[in-house]
Structure 1
Amino acid sequence: MSSLLKEDMEKKLFKPKGQTLYEFIETKSKSKERFYLCASVAKGQEVLISLVKHYRACLDERYEVVEMWFLKELKFIDGKEPDTDNPHFDMMFEEVCNVEAYSCASKYAFARSLIKLNTLHTKRDIKVLNFDSSYIEDGVIWSSNNGDCLVLMRICFYASNLLCLSLCPIP
């Protein structure tokens, strides 16, 4: 579902503006409307962070940029509480932007993508506060966008090994 949504959003909103959608997460809102926090790269290698509203008009899916910032203007990203499963985080531009992701995992995925985009395009220091560094830092397991899947695969591999070992008779 998310790959279809990403493809649709990119086709209808980002490509016409000469941008490539790199990452997006769904955010929670008090209204019934759906919002996404998106990171995109423009043709001039400018990285943009957008808050996009998703709505339906008749049978057509529509997307509208509600707010937009440049990654180069991001002063810090604050994960609030690194020791709890907390989907809230702040991004500091000229003003603080409070975000509630749908999950803690999506919060970390978005933070990792901003760090990677910053390394590739902006090459400046962004303070990363109150995130568990083992899930943020660019390590072997987190070097791809599929880092969460790799961790899950590794856990399943260890669990299956334990199961096999427990079923083996001890001589």
Structure 2
Amino acid sequence: METMTGGQIVAATLAELGITTLFSVSGNQILPIYDAAADAGVRIIHMRHESAAAYAAAGWTEVTGIPGVLLVSAGPGHLAALTGVGVARSMELPMLYLSGASPVAERGLGAFQDLDQRQAARAVCKDALDVASVEAIRPTLARAWRLALSGIPGPVHVT
């Protein structure tokens, strides 16, 4: 059995959750997901700004009734999406808000685009989850999906 990369696991898990489309602005940390998405049957709609991608994911939710998925890079990309994610929260729209991150071992040490993304996301999301290992990707995404849909719907962040 061939070992899957983290990007392949993310794309496959999104497909298993029934996600066919996500909205994104590309960046270094998320390119492995881009590479795996087409093989998993997940279409990426590439936007020109992270906030526009967040609004598009919210609009997807409103039109289809299926939670929108937003995928952005770390640091500045993560922060740029927060306005649109906050609007989705105020409208009680379920959303998966996925962002790349610095390598776990380099966080807090000045790594490229390093930022405490969970803390920033908590201001506008129902919850903010961290994936600490490749093995944790699938259960963390499944948990985020359930949280986004439970109780009062809203965005859940995963980094």
TM-score of the superposed pair, with normalisation by structure 2: 0.28
TM-score of the superposed pair, with normalisation by structure 1: 0.27
Q: Whose strand proportion is higher, 1 or 2?
A: 1
- Between 1 and 2, higher relative CO (CA 8 Å, sep ≥ 6) is seen in 2
